[in-house]
A and B are shown apart, each in its own frame.
Chain A
Amino acid sequence: MRKYIFKRVIISFVTIWVLATIVFILVRLMPGDPFSSDKMTPEIKANIESYYGFDKPLIEQYFTYMKNIVKGDFGYSMKYVNQSVNKIIADSFPYSFDLGMRALSLSISLGLVFGIIAALYRGKQLDYVCVIIAIIGTSVPDFIIGAMLQYFFGIKWGLFPVAQYQGIKHTILPSIALGFYTMAMVSRLMRASMLEVVQQDYIKTAKSKGISKFRITYKHQIRNAIMPVVTVLGPTVASVLTGTFVIESIYAIPGMGKYYVQSVQNLDYSLILGMTIFYGAFLVLANMIVDILYGVIDPRIRVSGR
C-alpha cells in the first residue's frame, strides 16, 4: 500500500509538471496579450513587458516560472496588479471550498437516498418521483436553477437572502443550486447500479440463505452498488470544491470559479497558470483519494494485495 501511494505521488507530480508546461505554452499561443487596452502606446507597452520579464526569451521565462513554482510562488496577477496569485487563491478558495462542501454533502447524501429508494421501489410511484427529480437535475442547467431559486426563495417569498456570502442563511440557496446536478447524477447512477447488483448471484445466494432483506440491501446491495458512484466522485468533488463561475456570479460569491473564467478573458497569464495548476493538483489529489478508497470499500481491489 505504501509503495503504491508513493508511486502515485510521483506520477502526480509528473502530471502537474506536464500540465503546467502545456498551459504555459497554450496561454502564450492565445491571440492577444494581457496588456492590450484601448489606450496603450508602444512605449508604455514596452515598459510593462519589461516589468513582467516578457522581453526575455520564452525559454528563459519558462525556467524562471518553473523555478518559482517549485518555491511555491505563482507570481503576481497581471490584471489585479498588486495581488499575488497565491493571495488570490488563498482568499477565494475558502469560499468555493465551503460552498462546495455544503453542496456535496447535501447532494451526495440525498442523491444516494433517492437512488436507493428508486431502485427498491422500481416501477412504483416513488421511483417515478425520484427519476423525475433526477431528470430535472441533469437536464436543467445550473444557471436556470440558480436564478429560479433566487427568484422564488429570495425575491418573491423573501425566505433567504438574494445574494452574497455572509452567514449560514446565505449559503443555502447556492448550495442547493450547485449541488442539484451532482445529486441528480448520483441518484441516477446509484439507481442503475443498485438494479444491476440485484441481479448478481451473490444476492440470490444471500436470499436463498434466508438472510433478511434489510441485511441484503444494506450489506450486499448498497455496498457493491456504491462503487461507480465513488468513481465519479473524484473529478466531481474537485470541480465542485474549486468553484463554479455561474453560481458564484448569480449569488455574488467571491470564490475561485469567477477568477478562473475572468482570468482567461483578461489573458491574465499568471492567474490562469496558477489557477490551472492549483485545480490540476486538486483533481489529481481527489482521484488519488478515490483510488485508495476503492480498496477500503471493495476488498477485491485492495491495492496492498498487489
Chain B
Amino acid sequence: MLKLKKVISMFLAMAMCLGMAACSTPGQKQEPVKPADAAAETPAETAPDKKVLRYSLLADAPTLDPQLMNSIPSSTVGFHIYEGLMRNHIGEIQPGMAESYEISEDGKTYTFHLRDAKWSDGVEIKAADYEYAMRRLVDPATASDYSFLVTSLIKNAGDINAGKMAVEELGVKAVDDKTLTIELNNPTGYFLSMLSMSQLCPVRQDLVEKYGKDFSADADKNVYSGPFIVKEWKHEDRIILEKNPNYWNAGEIKLDEVHILTVADPMTAVAMFEQGELDQVNVPAEVLENYKDKVIYYNDGANDFMKLNMDGSCELSNKDLRLAINYALNREDYILLSSQNLYQPNTRYVLPQVKGVNGDYGDEYPYEAFPLKGDAAKAKEHLAKAMEELGVTDPAAIDVELLTTDAERTRIEAEVLQNQIQTALGITVTIRQVPYKQRLQMESDHEFEMVVTGWVPDYPDPMSYLELWPTGSPYNHGSYSSEVYDGYIKDALTNTDPVKRMEALFNAEKTLLEDGGIVPLQLRRNAMLINPKVEGFETYFVGINYDYLYADIAE
C-alpha cells in the first residue's frame, strides 16, 4: 500500500513538473506571451492619464489598404486613419483635407483646394496623392472590388476599369500640389458625402511601389493622413490606433488610443464588457432580454429583402403572385419569431435614414407599401388573379423555392417565411440552404426563384438602393424590368433640381414595390452596450458603423 502511494506521488510530481515546464518553456520563448504585453493584461490600469477607447470586432479587418477595403470593419478603421477631401461625420459634411471647394455650374466638375498638412511620417500631403489613389482604385491591375463606387460616377472610370482606356484618362487631375479637380459623369449631389470613404483616400505612390503586395499589410507598411495612426496590428488579435500628432485637426481629437480587439465569439465580447475590458459591445439577440434596459439600438444600414426571379423561369414572373406574397406576410410576427424583435419590420425598400432633400428621406417621404401585419383579403385576391393567369386551379401546384444561406439565423427566417406564405396562400414553398458564397454566386447567375438577401448603402442617398433595379443593371439579379421605373431613375440621374430629383426617386421606389419587384422584410438593428464614461461614440449606417472621431473618455 505504501509503495503504491509512492508510485502515485511520483507520478503526480512528474505530472506537475511536466505541467510547469510547459508553462515556462514555450510561453516565454514564444512570441505570443511577451512581457511587453503585460501592461495590456490589466487594461483598466493602463496609464490612467491616457484616454483609451476599446471595442471589438468579430473578425479582424481583412485589410487596411484603403483602395482594397471591402468590409465595414476595415473601412471603419480606415475612416479614422485616412483623411478624405471631405469628412462625413454621421451625415454632416465637414471639411477634410480640402479647405474649400468649388462646383462648376453644370454640377459636374469639383475643384478642391487642399490645406497644408503632413503624412504621419512628416512628408507633405499633395493633390497628387489623391490623384494616384483614385487612379489606383479604378486601375484593373489593382483588382479592387470596391472600384464599383466610382465606375459610373467619375468620368472615364468605367472604361478604365474595363481595360478600355489608360488610367491617366481618369477625370481626376492634380492641377498643382494643392489643387485637385474631379470630373463627374452626372451632377451628383451626394458626391461630397462619399469623399471620406477610405477607398477615395490618398496613398503614397512611393510606399505602394516599395511594398508591392505587402503594402499596408502591417502597421509600419503604410503612413497615415487621418486623426489616428496604426501603432500596432497583431492580426486576428488587436489593432491599436494612436493619435496622429501630424493630423491637421489634432486639437479636436481627444482620444489618445483606440484598441480594436478581435473577439470572434459575441458572448465572450459581452463578458469582456462586463469585466470592464471593453467600452462598447453589440449584444447578440439570444441574450438581449438580459440587457433590455441598458442597450442603445442603432441601424447599421443593412436592409433585408427577398429578390424574386422575374426572368420567366418560374411563376414569380406573375405580378399578382408577387403581390400576394407581399400581402401574405405578417412582418411583425416574422420579426418577433426570427430575431426576437432585435430587427425592425420593413415594408419599403429605401432605408428611411438616408438623406432626403433637407432632412431624412423617410420623414420627407413616409410610405408603407404593405401593411406591417399583412392583409389576408388582399393576398387572397391577388392569388386568385394569379391562379387564373397562370392557369392553375390548386394553389399547391404553385411551387417556389426559397433560397437562403446555411446559417442558423437564416434557417429560422426562411422557416417563418415558408410557414406564413404556405398558411396564407396555400402555395408550396421549398427551402434550400446553401453556403453563403454559393448563395451569392447563384444570385448573380440568376439561379434562384426567391432568395433572402440584403443591401447596405454606399452613400446616404436613396439612389444607393434604387440603382439596383434599372433594366440591365449588373445588380438586377431578379431581371426586374419596368420602363416607368427606368424613366424615374434616368430623371433622377440628370435632374439638377434637388426636390424634383428626390420625387423621381420616391416614385421609383413606389413603382418597384407596387410591381412587387421585391419582398421587403427587415431593417437590421444592433443593440449595443456602452461604457457610460465614453462620450461621443457615434454609430453610422453608410460605409462605416462607428464614428469615434471626436469621442472622449470622461474622467
Contacts and interface: CB of A to CB of B under 8 A. Distances in A.
Interface of A: 30-44, 47-48, 50-52, 76, 79-84, 87-88, 91-92, 94-95, 97-98, 101-102, 104-106, 108-110, 112-113, 116-117, 120, 147, 150-151, 154-155, 158, 161-171, 212-214, 217-218, 248-252, 254, 258-259, 262, 265-267
Nearest to B69: A81
B275 A158 contact: yes
Contacts of B434: 31-32
Given A32-B438, A47-B140, A214 B8 contact: no
Given A36-B444, A50-B143, 6 more contacts: A37-B70, A82-B63, A94-B32, A162-B277, A168-B23, A171-B33
Interface in B3-27: 3-4, 6-8, 11-12, 14-16, 18-19, 21-23, 25-27
Interface of B: 3-4, 6-8, 11-12, 14-16, 18-19, 21-23, 25-27, 30-33, 37-38, 40-41, 59-60, 62-65, 68, 70, 140-141, 143-148, 151, 158, 161-163, 213-217, 234-237, 261-265, 267-268, 271-272, 274-275, 277, 434-441, 444, 453-456, 458, 474-475
B106 to A, nearest CB: 27
A38 B454 contact: yes
Contacts of A117: 8
**Which A-B residue pairs are the 5 nearest by beta carbons?**
A32-B437, A109-B15, A105-B22, A51-B143, A36-B440
Contacts of B475: 39, 41
Which secondary structure characterizes the binding site on chain A? helix
B419 to A, nearest CB: 27
Contacts of B435: 30-32, 265
Contacts of B21: 105
B473 to A, nearest CB: 9
A162 B42 CA distance: 12
B62 A80 contact: yes
A98 B15 contact: no
Nearest to A108: B18
B4 A252 contact: no
A281 B344 CA distance: 49
Contacts of A97: 26, 30
A165 B32 contact: yes
Contacts of A170: 41
A170 B161 CA distance: 48
Nearest to B38: A167
Contact of B440 (A37, A101, A110, A112): A37
Given A169-B41, A213-B4, A82 B236 contact: no
B275 A81 contact: no
A168 B11 contact: no
B217 A83 contact: yes
Contacts of B215: 82
A105 B437 contact: no
A98 B31 CA distance: 9
A243 B309 CA distance: 43
B37 A166 contact: yes
A39 B217 contact: no
Nearest to A48: B143
26 contacts: A36-B444, A37-B145, A39-B145, A39-B458, A40-B145, A42-B474, A79-B62, A80-B62, A81-B65, A87-B217, A95-B32, A98-B30, A98-B32, A101-B25, A113-B8, A154-B271, A155-B271, A163-B277, A164-B272, A166-B38, A167-B33, A169-B41, A170-B41, A171-B27, A250-B265, A259-B236
A81 B74 CA distance: 12
Contacts of B161: 43-44, 47
Contacts of B162: 43
B141 to A, nearest CB: 7
B146 to A, nearest CB: 8
A267 B437 contact: yes
A102 B23 contact: yes
A102 B41 contact: no
Nearest to B222: A82
Contacts of A94: 30-32
Contacts of B144: 44
Contact of B40 (A40, A84, A166): A166
Contacts of B436: 32, 265
A158 B62 CA distance: 33
Given A79-B62, A171-B33, A38 B453 contact: yes
A177 B15 CA distance: 18
Contacts of B141: 47, 51
Contacts of B25: 101
Contact of B271 (A108, A163, A213): A163
B268 A254 contact: no
A236 to B, nearest CB: 16
B60 to A, nearest CB: 8
Nearest to B216: A82
A105 B22 CA distance: 6
Given A31-B441, A150-B271, A38 B145 contact: no
A151 B261 CA distance: 20
A20 B6 CA distance: 51
A91 to B, nearest CB: 5
Contact of B15 (A80, A104, A112, A167): A112
A112 B13 CA distance: 12
B3 A249 contact: no
A298 to B, nearest CB: 20
A249 B8 contact: no
Contacts of B214: 82, 84
A248 B264 contact: yes
Nearest to A109: B15
Given A33-B441, A36-B444, A102-B26, A113 B15 contact: yes
A38 B271 contact: no
A36 B41 contact: no
Given A81-B63, A163-B271, A39 B235 contact: no
Contacts of B4: 120, 213-214, 217
A254 B234 contact: yes
